[in-house]
Amino acid sequence: MELTVISGKGGTGKTTIALALSELVKDAVKADCDVDAPNLYLFYDGRDIRKEYFYGEKKAVIDKKFCSGCNECEKVCQFDAIKDSKVDFFKCEGCGACILVCPHSAISLKEKKTADVYITQTNKGIISRAQMEVGSEGSGKLITMLRSNARKFADGNALIIIDGSPGIGCPVISSITGSDAVLIVTEPTQSGLEDFVRVMELCRHFGVITFACINKYDINEKKAEEIENFCRKNDVYLIGKIPFDDTVMKSIKELKPIVFYEGSKANQAIRQMWDNICKYIKYLNQ
Amino acid sequence: MQGWAWEQAGDSEGEGRLNIAILSGKGGTGKTTISTNLSVITGANYIDCDVEEPNGFIFLKPSQIKREEVKVDYPVVDSSRCTLCGECAKVCQFNALVKTKKDIMLFEKLCHGCHACGIVCKQSALTFGKRIIGTIEEGQYGNLICKRGILNVGEPMAVPVIRRLLKNLPTGTNLIDCAPGTSCNVVSSLQYADGAILVTEPSSFGLHDLKMAVQLVRSFNLPFGVVINKHNTEDDRIQTYCEKENIEILGVIPYRREAAEVYSSGKMIVELPEYKEIFEEIAERLREVFPWNLQ
């Protein structure tokens, strides 16, 4: 089973919560699909047991030897990526339209490595993760690969926890489609609420079972209530309210998952939330 | 200090504009807080390029909003001309077209609107329609111009919305509030930037992702500085890193629960006198390093 943790807005606590949940389950496999800011592995002294390259982009390359400077390529490029027979790699989307119009066959597409993909073995199971080349396309295909890698290491009914990225675009869509359930981590702020609404619509659009939790709910209890009401009206299962707790900062500083801090209020709330998730999943599977 | 020299400035479109990108790597470090509050303090225009989750207007609440739809091209197959040769599907780099036994199927959300399919079609069976993927909004906050892009929910590609938004920037100084991360959305925004402010927070996550953002702005050869948000006195890892890397720290914004509460209800934190002072200092710092016509 795959549980994807996303948030819409960044910095609401996805990684903290994804990590905590994975620690509460025996043999959970983790996939860090927040490839722009992959922070999950920072918590572990892991060993990379497999490494491969991911080629996620193609770029047009003009061979000067054959180019006559006729500028047909420039005229046909929809992305303004060619000027005076030079390709701007940041603008080129690798569509190859220029190749089709070049009378001298001077243009070809070159594949570009956009990420190193790792399987990391830790003392708490496998992490499927990637290190993207800075500035590369945050491609959905890379996310698909990370999920498929995680699946290879998840025996039978083992839980796969996916730490997703912020936003509602391509990487998020790729991390929720086909997932068994999504957990949206939001925060009681106006930004959190508005982003929550959008990301929830996205989940609905793709028809995935959606849970929600409010992190640091007591920062603004009025906003938290607005989020609760919204969930109720829209049939989203609100399965957890996690209080603001300084121990969370401490746990990030000490790089130790929050579930190991006995007295922590956040820890207790996250454990309670996990029980709720299990109950719902059981109920939904009936 | 990291080169703030004017001659390093990047590719801003046209004269009379100074575009400063605000980015972070990690999400939720306070890009929008810094951009909106700095806009108000400095009189710079505010441009929200985080089109997947644009939040700046929550705080600035601009008036007299004008809207414009963002449309992208997609191929339309004229089945009376199509011979099902499948060349269009073969040439599509994005697998947006699939040839079946009966017809050519389009997966419109995969389509980049590149027209390659139209070029290879020998029967001229393809024409191009337009579909809406988002909106650009422009409004006023006092004398400031506020613009934002909004990607429609369910659309995977934010870049066309960002490009449209940045095509016609107002003259003067523009603060560009970027998406989190270091991939295509941010890259598209940086293409128009003359300088950058990197927002981070003092944690191992913040530092890890800051390093990625630094790598990105350096690859663009942009002058930049760092703002440390949510600062607590115990953790100085960001300062240590910046010192080692010779990066200018433009400001340090302390964490206070009071500020978090003001933010949570959609208000500007410069309404708190302590924070107003801090933002004025940051603005002062920016004026020193940029030839910037600020009010």
Mean of pLDDT values over A97-110: 97
Q: What is the pTM of this model?
A: 0.93
Does B181 sit within 8 Å of A138, measured CB to CB?
A: yes
* A211-266 pLDDT, tens digit each: 999 999 999 999 999 999 999 999 899 999 999 999 999 999 899 999 999 999 99
Q: With beta carbons less than 8 A apart as the criterion, state whether B134 and B155 touch.
A: yes
Q: What is the mean pLDDT of chain B?
A: 92
Q: Check the CA dihedral A82-A83-A84-A88 and report its sign.
A: negative
Give the pLDDT of residue B292.
53
pLDDT of residue B287: 86
Q: Do A252 and B261 touch (CB under 8 A)?
A: no
Contact A202 B153 (CB under 8 A): yes
Average pLDDT of every residue of chain A = 95
On the question of pLDDT at B231 being above 90, the answer is yes
Tell which CATH classification among 3.30.2090.10, 3.40.50.300, 3.40.190.10, 3.20.20.70 matches the domain A2-44+124-285. Answer: 3.40.50.300
A220 to chain B, closest Cα gap in Å: 6
pLDDT > 90: percent of chain A = 89
Domain range list for chain A = 2-44+124-285, 55-113
Complex confidence, ipTM: 0.93
Q: Which residues pair with B63 in a beta bridge?
A: B140
Give the C-alpha distances (Å, rounded to integers) separating A197 from A10, A12, B18, B158, B248.
14, 14, 34, 18, 38
B266 to A170: CB separation less than 8 angstroms, yes or no: no
B63 within 8 A of B87, measured Cβ to Cβ: no
Mean pLDDT of B235-249: 95
Q: What distance separates the 2 farthest-apart alpha carbons in chain B?
A: 72
pLDDT digits (tens, 9 = 90+) for A119-150: 999 999 999 999 999 888 877 899 999 999 99
Domains A2-44+124-285 and A55-113 share a fold: no
- Nearest 5°: CA angle at B262, between B204 and B180? 40
B116–A166 C-beta distance less than 8 A: no
| Residue pLDDT, tens place only, A79-98 | 999 999 999 998 999 999 99
Instruction: Please give the average per-residue pLDDT across B247-274, as a whole number.
Output: 94
- Select from A101, A172, A255 the Cβ nearest to the Cβ of B119: A101
Domains and CATH numbers, chain B: 6-70+134-289 (3.40.50.300), 79-124 (3.30.70.20)
Closest CB to A11: pick one of B28, B50, B158. Answer: B28
Report the CATH number of the A55-113 domain. 3.30.70.20
| pLDDT above 90 coverage of chain B, percent | 88
The answer to whether residue B294 scores a pLDDT higher than 60 is no
Q: Which of A166, A205, A253 sits opposite B153 (nearest CB)?
A: A205
Q: Work out the average pLDDT over B138-164.
A: 97
Distance CA A40, CA B137 (A): 36
- Looking at residue A119, what is its pLDDT? 98
Is residue B204 within 8 Å of A251, Cβ to Cβ?
no
Kindly tell me if the per-residue pLDDT of B57 is higher than 70.
yes
- Strands B224-231 and B248-254, bridge-based pairing: parallel
| Backbone φ, ψ for residue B255 (5° rounding) | -85, 125
| pLDDT band at residue B291 under the 50/70/90 scheme | low
Residue B11: Cβ within 10 Å count? 14
Asked if B114's CB is within 8 angstroms of A78's CB, the reply is yes
* A252 interaction partners in chain B (CB closer than 8 Å): 203-205
Using CA coordinates, name the residue in chain B closest to A250.
B203
